[in-house]
Amino acid sequence: MKKKSILIAVLASIVFLGNLNAQDWPQYMGPDRNSISPQKNILRVWPEKGPDVLWSVDVGIGYGGPVVKDGKVYLLDRDDEVGDKMRCFDLNSGEELWKFEYTAAGSVMFPGSRSVPIVDENYVYSCGPYGDLYCIDIKTHKAVWNVNVWTDFGGEEIPRWAITQSPLIYGDLLIIASQAPEAGVVAYDKLTGDVKWKTPSLGPTGYVSPIITKIDGNDHLVMITASSGGRGEDPVPGFVVGLDPMSGEKIWEFDNWLCRIPVPSAVDAGDNKLLIVGGYELGALMIQVEKQADGTYGTKELFRTEEFGDQTKTPLFYDGYFYAEFGTNSTRDGLTCMNMDGEIMWKTKRDPDFNKGSMIIADGLILATDGAKSLYLIEPDPTTFKLLASAELLTKQEGEEGGGRFGTQNWAPIALADGKLLIRDQSKMLCVKVQNN
């Protein structure tokens, strides 16, 4: 029966992926949840003023990124005094086509939106910073079901930086890391919102979204938890956990990851290897997942380094090398390249500076925001930083309505669809042409 269930899930996933336009960016980190786009014919030379900005729209303060499907852009925007609002725009014109709003007032440090939605054939799903998980019909623009991933499982005081979860679709399941006292990861029936499985708490609450990786050719759902212990105290390590995505059953765990505020998801580095990164000078960890003689799985540490990491984004993995923006509260190593053995190949430091921006690989090129004002076009090369072009596209907005003290923080994940790159800061979302006609 279990084999039949797994086969059904795999077939369902194939159908879902098969229905996606190759130009879509339907979820957090793109079609394969790894920030790699299948698009070709990306511009390799930019005009002096930079690539054309096709349109821009006003958005609220926040860090939630967009997704794109069938020529429509979906963004979970927010007004802290009122609540969350799912907004839908036309990709070509920027015209707002519809919006769905619900009450969820409140504010935390670094206020505003947080997560990236996911969209399939008929529905868009999103989780707000106060745990409100909604399924919205993209044809009727009405809610089909909604739950709260925090309070439904014993959560009381909201985490310091709120709920930062980008949902994952696996077959007929919508999977999200509740990280509440009574549930670590939860799988819902994506059509009804019924809970299909949930795990116990897996460890202290962090800000990591789950990801599917391949272990011995099989799908494992990987989740990372925070370490605990205040400043000046001996830390209690967090966990990296592999789950069966159909049942939530724990398959393996690694119990020595030290990061009190983890945000990036795990990176599938192939050959049953996973790269785990964190900010706050905590660096990176490579682990190996191994099948034991008795058929169970174990883990071992391959290396650990403080010379590579990323505070808010999952690193890119391309042609056997990792690329990340390693800017933290006290370390500004800029864009950094590391090989599979943990050897640092190069760092840009502050020339140019990269700090909490976002990156996408497309057509053998890196499109990167720097976390502030600029967009960069980079050729990935382990021997040196190869800058092809850059453009300052964002300008500091004055006053609270323009982002206030947060300036032009463009920390949100970017999205690429149909040759158009979507970038947002604290007041605007831009659509930039990055593909030849």
Question: Per residue, what are the HEC states of 13-66?
Answer: HHHHHHCCCCCCECCCCCCCCCCEECCCCECCCCCCCCCCEEEEEECCCECCCC
- Non-local (6+) Cβ contacts of 307 within 8 A are 283, 333, 336, 338, 344
**What string of DSSP letters covers 355-416?**
-S--EEEETTEEEEE-SSSEEEEEE--TTS-EEEEEEE---PPPSGGGTGGGTT---SPPEE
Q: Among the listed ranges 156-165, 276-285, 333-342, which one has the minimum average pLDDT value?
A: 276-285
pLDDT of residue 395: 72
397 pLDDT band (50/70/90 cuts)?
A: low
Query: By percentage, how much of the chain surpasses pLDDT 70?
Result: 92
pLDDT of the residue at 406: 53
Tokens 């497309």 correspond to 362
Residue 46 above 70 pLDDT? Answer: yes
76-105: b (≥16 Cβ within 10 Å) or e: bbbbbeebbbbbbbebeeeeeeeebeeebe
Residue 396 has pLDDT above 50, yes or no: yes
Residue among 57, 150, 66, 154 nearest 108 (CA) = 150
Q: State the pLDDT at residue 22.
A: 57
Phi/psi of residue 400, nearest 5 degrees: -60, -35
* 8 A C-beta contact, residue 282 and residue 258: yes
Domains of the chain: 2-433 (2.140.10.10)
* pLDDT confidence bin for 279, thresholds 50/70/90: confident
Question: Mean per-residue pLDDT for 361-386?
Answer: 97
CA distances from 349 to 130, 328, 334, 337 (A): 36, 12, 4, 11
From residue 210, give the alpha-carbon distance in Å to each of 28, 334, 385: 10, 26, 31
Phi, psi values for residue 169, rounded to 5°: -100, 130
Which of 250 and 22 is assigned the larger pLDDT? 250
DSSP state of 350: B
Distance CA 143, CA 207 (A): 25
Residues 392-399, mean pLDDT to the nearest whole number: 70
Task: Provide the mean pLDDT of the chain.
Answer: 92
User: What are the b/e assignments for 248-264, b being 16+ CB within 10 Å?
Assistant: bebbbbbeebbbbbbbb
Q: Is the pLDDT of residue 335 over 80?
A: yes
Tell which phi-psi region holds residue 10, choosing left (phi > 0), alpha (psi between -120 and 50) or beta. alpha
Read off the pTM. 0.93
Look up residue 362 and give its two tokens: 């497309």
What average pLDDT score do residues 127-133 get?
A: 98
Torsion of CA 346, 352, 357, 363, to 10 degrees: -70
Check if the beta carbon of residue 127 is closer than 8 Å to that of residue 163.
Answer: yes
267-268 and 250-257 as β-strands: parallel, antiparallel, unpaired? unpaired
> Could you give the count of Cα atoms lying within 13 Å of 428 in the half-sphere of its Cβ?
17
Residues in the chain: 437
How far apart, in whole angstroms, are the C-alpha atoms of residue 367 and residue 335? 12
Best CA proximity match to 24, nearest among 64, 86, 65, 71: 71
202-to-186, 223, 295 alpha-carbon distances in Å: 11, 9, 23
pLDDT, tens digit, 9 for 90 and up, residues 53-82: 999 999 999 999 999 999 999 999 999 999
The residue among 407 and 410 whose pLDDT is bigger is: 410
pLDDT of 373 strictly over 60: yes
Provide, rounded to the nearest whole percent, the portion of the chain with pLDDT above 90.
86
E strand spans, 206-358 = 211-215, 218-224, 238-243, 250-257, 267-268, 273-277, 284-291, 297-305, 316-318, 321-327, 332-339, 344-347
Name the one residue in this structure whose structure tokens are 């890196």: 366
pLDDT at residue 377 in the model: 98
Average pLDDT over residues 96-121: 96
- Per-residue pLDDT averaged across 28-37, rounded? 98
pLDDT of 19 higher than 90: no
